Structure 1
Amino acid sequence: MTPYARRGVHGQTVEALARRILGGEIPEGATLDLVALQSELDVSLTALRESLKVLAAKGMVDARQKRGTFVRARADWNLLDADVLRWQFEGGGAGETDRALLRNLAEVRAIIEPAAVRLAAERRTDDDLAALGAALAAMGEHDTDPGHAVEADLAFHRALLAATHNELLERMEMVIESGLAHRDRLVHSSPHGEDPVPAHRAVLDAVRDRDPRAAEAAMHALLEQAGRDLDRVDGPDDTKGTGGK
């Protein structure tokens, strides 16, 4: 998905507003001063209103007669939206908020991916194995380049969800990918992480062998290793959980 910031003035306005809301600069319940924002962001009122429609669709703002446009409560935000997740990880929230979101996503992944890999082991095709193998090979080739390592890791987990041949599980990549990319950038930029290739290879081997139980166990081991890596980078936390990988 192309970040809104790369979609011209409209996209940049969407991201600027979203980051202010997510960062608390514009707090929940606040009524927006559209004239001031228009001047501050140097955009037309039409462009500003179109940008607010995007945020309204994501549950972040709303407009009412006599009240105007206001920021909705966080409980109303579509936190599973890929853009909302990305905005938070790319600077929308404070450190503790970022940490808590990583924990939440790690818990979601710990529920989804071990179950998904069981299906992948039962349903995978030769094309699925080729995609997983290519991602694993790229992971090994680019383990010294954080950017390439992140892309290879994302490709592996994307291929794993695709191998379930369940359309709804495949769509979960939009939720998982933002948190995984953020965690990967932290871990792969640090010299303290464990080599990710063996853990991913164990998952692929079990999927290739059509062994659901072994695949699930391998995924649990991978996620546990990922949690250790994140703790080394970020320091241990009171709430233990896997950090994604």
Structure 2
Amino acid sequence: MSTLAHTMMTAARSTDSGLAGPGELDRYPYSDSPGTERLGIPAWENADQELGRVGRRTAGNRGRGLHGQLVQQLGQMIVSGDLGADRPLVPEEIGQRFEVSRTVVRESLRVLEAKGLVSARPNVGTRVRPVSDWNLLDPDIIEWRAFGPQRDDQRRELSELRWTIEPLAARLAAGHGREEVQQRLGDMVEIMGHALAQGDSLTFSRADAEFHSLLIQVAGNRMLEHLSGIVSAALQVSGGPVTGCDRPTEASLVHHGRIADALAAADGAAAETAMRQLLTVHPEVERVVPAPREH
């Protein structure tokens, strides 16, 4: 096993405890201060139970303290529909419910506004925006949708988007191969092979995500490059141990290897074909490709 493979597999195991297992609730602790009566805000009753639908934290907000935690919780509530369109969000109520300062509430609402989830206007206040205004390509929103009531639609849409993006990226990447990039892609395939043999799904999924992200980045198209984060988010929510979906397979490994070989040979057609075969193997894609869905 290469040094890179060993390092990556060790790192994945050491951080595995940060992911919630099936049925676990990943709630953030808002401790009650001794001797202080918690204010009851009817608008937020049962919020914690509703937030339990999501089994893990979003990578984009993990480890950012109260600000990131509040963005996570409010974002989940909006995306799940618990806070419906045009619902007013009163900063004072939010601060009391989650026991955070006005500064934390204000900064969190600004983040949600940038994602298109809320809008703030003078004399109107802050309100939840309709789905049509959301930035549906935002990685946080992708994950919130994928682990909420809209999970089936989100995973289907992500699968269709990958089918549109990645075969083209594979073809283009074949014409922009560099030795260090080819080596890195080969390393990822090697890591996936060792992880598959050892039943290490977490390491497999992380190497898989890096493989696809790197491939898009070397396609030589800056607009496609900006979509690499979407593909990574799609991989995180469409398979692997976190979501409880099917474990990585030998067929998936073989197709990754064929893509890497085609890129090394600068064979764009073969790389595109191998990518299409890989995507069709994936159970989420298999339900929507190649037949169009009925309206």
In structure 2, distance between residues paired with 1:10 and 1:189: 29
Question: What are structure 1's unaligned runs of at least 5 residues?
Answer: none
Deviation >3 Å, runs of 4+: 186-194
SS of 2:137's equivalent in the other structure is coil
Offset from partner CA, 1:124-171 (integer Å, 9 cap, x none): 111111110011001111121121111010011012112213332222
- Residue identity in the other structure for 1:84: I
Matched, 1:223 2:279: yes
Higher helix share: 1
Shift in alpha-carbon separation, 1:191–1:2, aligned structure 2, 3 A: closer
- Residue identity in the other structure for 2:124: R
CA contact (8 A) 2:192 2:253 kept: yes
- Residue identity in the other structure for 1:206: A
- Select the structure of larger CA radius of gyration: 2
Question: What are structure 2's unaligned runs of at least 5 residues?
Answer: 1-57, 291-295
Shift in alpha-carbon separation, 1:186–1:103, aligned structure 2, 3 A: farther
In structure 1, distance between residues paired with 2:242 and 2:113: 34
Match of 2:229 in 1: 174
- Residue identity in the other structure for 1:153: D
CA contact (8 A) 1:203 1:219 kept: yes
Shift in alpha-carbon separation, 1:136–1:52, aligned structure 2, 3 A: same
Match of 2:289 in 1: 241
Pick the aligned partner of 2:185 from 132, 136, 148. Answer: 132
In structure 1, distance between residues paired with 2:243 and 2:88: 41
Matches within 5 A, 1:6-85: 6-85=63-142
Shift in alpha-carbon separation, 1:190–1:125, aligned structure 2, 3 A: same
In structure 2, distance between residues paired with 1:190 and 1:12: 26
Report the aligned-residue RMSD: 2.2
How far apart are residue 2 of structure 1 and its match? 5.2
Match of 2:35 in 1: none
In structure 1, distance between residues paired with 2:59 and 2:247: 31
Shift in alpha-carbon separation, 1:127–1:56, aligned structure 2, 3 A: same
TM-score, normalization: structure 2? 0.72
Pick the aligned partner of 2:215 from 160, 179, 189. Answer: 160
Match of 2:8 in 1: none
Aligned residues: 230
CA contact (8 A) 2:174 2:262 kept: yes
In structure 2, distance between residues paired with 1:210 and 1:5: 39
Identity %: 33
